Amino acid sequence: MQKIFRILLLIQLAVLSLNGLAAGSLLIVVPDGSLVGLPQVWLEHAPFSSYFIPGCLLFLFMGVLPALAFTGIAFKRNWQWAQRINLLPARSSSNTLALYSGVGAIIWIAVQQMMTSYFMLQPIIILLGVGIVVSGLVGER
């Protein structure tokens, strides 16, 4: 059963990472949001005048972080640098990075929903975040 949750966790991390890397890159390159269909009006109540900073944050926290977690879990790494930020020392640092990715995805969408209008990817990313947290907790015991 743990193996199934580990595979599921890897798939979910890959999807989150690819989405974050792609969308973040597009927002960094063209910060008006037009490449990903984000209207400028969504920035009216945001502390940003363009999507550049959100794009950088998306790239790092929803792209790079889950990619590191994926790599660590796939290759069974317990990195010392990641151990310094591991709030769950009974778990491997890679698994904790995965949990951070899942919780981060949930927080990202919750904040996004407060600042923007609804769009179809939001519930998908929330479910992906919940799935990562559940798979991460069950997959490593």
Contacts of 114-122 spanning 24+ positions with Cβ under 8 A = 115/42, 115/45, 115/46, 116/38, 116/42, 116/46, 117/42, 121/19
pLDDT above 70: residue 112 = yes
Domain boundary assignment for the chain: 2-76+83-139
pTM above 0.85, yes or no: yes
Residue 128 banded pLDDT, cuts 50, 70, 90: very high
Mean pLDDT of 65-69: 97
Mean pLDDT of 110-138: 90
Averaged pLDDT for residues 17-30: 97
pLDDT greater than 90 at residue 41: no
CA 13/CA 62 separation, integer angstroms:
9
CA distance 136 to 131: 8
Q: Angle at Cα 63 formed by Cα 42 and Cα 117, nearest 5°?
A: 20
Q: Residue 141 pLDDT more than 70?
A: no
pLDDT score at 67: 98
